[in-house]
Structure 1
Amino acid sequence: MSPRMLVARMDSVGDVLLAGPCLRAVAAGAESVTLLAGPRGAAAGALLPGVDEVLTWCAPWIDPEPPPLIEADVHALVADLRRRRVDRALVLTSYHQSPLPLALLLRMAGVPWIGAISADYPGSLLDLRHRVDGDPPESDRALSLAEAAGFALPPGDDGTLAVRVPLPELRELTGSPGYVVVHPGASVPARQMSASRSAAVVAAFAAAGHRVVVTGAPGDGGLTAAVARGGGIDLGGRTTLAELAAVLAHAGVVVAPNTGPAHLAAAVGTPVVSLFAPVVPAGRWAPHGVPTVVLGDQDAPCRGSRARECPVAGHPCLESIDPEEVVAATVRLAAGITERPQRRLTTGGVS
């Protein structure tokens, strides 16, 4: 009998999107799949093929602005999980996070089998303690856990990112397909250009004859308004995540920092110019599976620091990018030239 599965990914939209291939592999061999997500990433879970239900809970050991750990909240989660009678669970985490606090709660909920990637000794908390060599792209890392647990992608699934279709129709907001999307914001300041630099990028695209659409999260209205003054349509805060996916799907290229919408662009098959601050490794976190050009000094002093605020005066890794260089990168993408290795692919595609 196929198991009732729970897969946990407790952080942001981008992280949840990168879990997509893992979730599809699990779904191919499961009776049902529940995704346990944090409030920052739950909306992405609803877009993923293979997910039957999204359960939302904020993990204080994962969230970047963690709430207090409240005993009643923990017991409510444990009781909810127990009612679901989950057969097996996989806990997905980033390399710097521990799966063990959630594994403990899953054990309290009576989950009989739990797997995770763990550098720490898990004792009896894990049935599968998976190890990953090297520093692979994050979605490959997550997929390797599913494979170690005995799940495989179905025939014809190439293991790239994907979202559910059909997506909403938004041409009344964007006009005809083929525009450039500039998404200036990121979850932390260290990963994004200044508003003035992003506006200069938009102006450079407009001067080169490109139609530009500027996108942003609900709280980014001031940022996107300033950036769009360079010659773009301002959609900041005007789209749901599914609607944003539709906007990105009809773009010729997406220009974005290391943020969830960059991975959403990859999930809808749109090439990406990645304005990537090296506070985390580009090899793991830059978009993949689509033509991509990575811009930004990957050897800057902030490299590997995971800094939320740039520790270097002037934020040179991103502010030194010439707007004309960004425009030129789209030309290289159109010519089929990329500057980072793409993920391993098998034949076929996701229907």
Structure 2
Amino acid sequence: MRTLVARLDNDGDVLLAGPAVRAAAHAGEVVLLCGHSGAQAAELLPGVQRVVRWDCPWIAYPPPDVRTPDIEGIVALLKGIRADVALVLTSYHQSPLPLALLLKLAGVPKVVARSTDYPGSLLDVRLRADPDIPEAERALQVARAAGFELPPGDDGRPAITDPPEPDEIGPYVVVHPGASVAARAWSPDRCAQAVTALAEAGHRVLVTGGPNETELTRHVAGAHGVDLGGRTTFAELAGL
């Protein structure tokens, strides 16, 4: 059994696809299709045998132009994977149907995804979209609809291969104030209030961010959190 798992977003989205990937990997080989903005995370996921990178015109930003040779090329690439089933993982506001069409043109016999829109013959198993389901559970439900289950003892949480060990910091809560789309993020002041409230409740709070977010993490951490902005590798950040 060879399963193609597609998650064409950023690293954070790909990390949350991990439980679905592990469920599919429990039944056989997994090939992960992602954009270049998700490739770091893809390489860290347990159960992935191969990572295929493709920046698609309807999700990548800035979007590449739609060109006939490029579309023919990805269809040929997908055909060469020879997947038995494809899981198209999306956020609630995205449609799986453009990729489902390419997968069908590539001859994939079974395509499974969530879709608000009528899929016609593009999906073999369709789940209704639900914006209230957390991303990791949303993806895992797609895998289960395809007939996959997590292996015994797997708690279904996001995980990476060989996570770094925290430096004896004990239990902690992570606050990650940044987002790839600013409209999806809390305001810095609201994040800072959350850090203060968590610290006053007795939690050790780690504030994380990339190298270009150090001013943000410094403000959010304030006097109550540990500012790790720009101080971790991506693998360390994912491990936290």
- Please give the TM-score of this superposition, normalised by the length of structure 2: 0.81
Quickly say closer, same or farther: Cα 1:190–1:230, change in 2 above 3 A: farther
Q: 1:114 touches 1:125 (CA, 8 Å); kept in 2?
A: yes
Quickly say closer, same or farther: Cα 1:163–1:228, change in 2 above 3 A: same
Partner in structure 2 of residue 176 of structure 1: 169
- 1:129 equivalent among 111, 118, 126: 126
Q: For 1:165 and 1:189, locate their aligned partners in 2 and report how far apart those are by CA, in whole Å.
A: 30
RMSD: 3.1
Secondary structure of the residue that 1:42 maps to in structure 2? helix
Secondary structure of the residue that 2:150 maps to in structure 1? coil
Quickly say closer, same or farther: Cα 1:216–1:105, change in 2 above 3 A: same
- 1:241 equivalent among 209, 234, 238: 234
- 2:100 equivalent among 103, 113, 117: 103
- 2:88 equivalent among 86, 91, 95: 91
Could you list the per-position Cα deviations for residues 141-192 of structure 1 after superposition, in whole angstroms to 9, with x for gaps in the alignment?
322222222222222233x223134323463xxx633455443222232333
Secondary structure of the residue that 1:223 maps to in structure 2? helix
Partner in structure 2 of residue 8 of structure 1: 6
Give how far 1:25 is off.
1.6
Q: 2:116 touches 2:129 (CA, 8 Å); kept in 1?
A: no
Q: For 1:167 and 1:134, locate their aligned partners in 2 and report how far apart those are by CA, in whole Å.
A: 30
Quickly say closer, same or farther: Cα 1:72–1:194, change in 2 above 3 A: same
Secondary structure of the residue that 1:41 maps to in structure 2? helix
Alignment of 1:205-284 (within 5 A): 213-228=206-221, 230=223, 233-246=226-239, 248=240
Q: For 2:181 and 2:124, locate their aligned partners in 1 and report how far apart those are by CA, in whole Å.
A: 35
Given residue 95 of structure 1, which amino acid in structure 2 is its aligned partner? Y
Q: 2:92 touches 2:129 (CA, 8 Å); kept in 1?
A: no
Give how far 1:125 is off.
2.2
Q: 1:199 touches 1:230 (CA, 8 Å); kept in 2?
A: no
Q: For 2:117 and 2:173, locate their aligned partners in 1 and report how far apart those are by CA, in whole Å.
A: 44
Quickly say closer, same or farther: Cα 1:132–1:222, change in 2 above 3 A: closer
Higher mean C-alpha deviation, range 176-185 or range 206-215: 206-215
Quickly say closer, same or farther: Cα 1:202–1:36, change in 2 above 3 A: same
Q: For 2:190 and 2:127, locate their aligned partners in 1 and report how far apart those are by CA, in whole Å.
A: 43
Given residue 233 of structure 2, which amino acid in structure 1 is its aligned partner? T
Q: 2:114 touches 2:129 (CA, 8 Å); kept in 1?
A: yes
Q: For 2:4 and 2:229, locate their aligned partners in 1 and report how far apart those are by CA, in whole Å.
A: 34
Quickly say closer, same or farther: Cα 1:232–1:35, change in 2 above 3 A: same
Partner in structure 2 of residue 162 of structure 1: 158
Partner in structure 2 of residue 28 of structure 1: 26
Q: 1:49 touches 1:162 (CA, 8 Å); kept in 2?
A: no
Give how far 1:220 is off.
1.3
Partner in structure 2 of residue 138 of structure 1: 135
Partner in structure 2 of residue 19 of structure 1: 17
- 1:69 equivalent among 66, 73, 84: 66
Secondary structure of the residue that 2:178 maps to in structure 1? coil
Q: 1:10 touches 1:59 (CA, 8 Å); kept in 2?
A: yes
Q: For 1:111 and 1:41, locate their aligned partners in 2 and report how far apart those are by CA, in whole Å.
A: 23
Q: 1:117 aligned to 2:110?
A: no
Quickly say closer, same or farther: Cα 1:68–1:164, change in 2 above 3 A: same
Quickly say closer, same or farther: Cα 1:216–1:87, change in 2 above 3 A: same
Give how far 1:4 is off.
1.2
Secondary structure of the residue that 1:47 maps to in structure 2? coil
Partner in structure 2 of residue 186 of structure 1: 179
Quickly say closer, same or farther: Cα 1:138–1:210, change in 2 above 3 A: closer
Quickly say closer, same or farther: Cα 1:228–1:5, change in 2 above 3 A: same
Given residue 162 of structure 2, which amino acid in structure 1 is its aligned partner? P
Quickly say closer, same or farther: Cα 1:163–1:129, change in 2 above 3 A: same
Q: 2:5 touches 2:86 (CA, 8 Å); kept in 1?
A: yes
Larger Rg: 1
Q: 1:93 touches 1:99 (CA, 8 Å); kept in 2?
A: yes
Higher mean C-alpha deviation, range 74-83 or range 131-140: 131-140
Partner in structure 2 of residue 48 of structure 1: 45
What percentage of residue pairs aligned between the two structures are identical? Answer: 58
Quickly say closer, same or farther: Cα 1:218–1:76, change in 2 above 3 A: farther
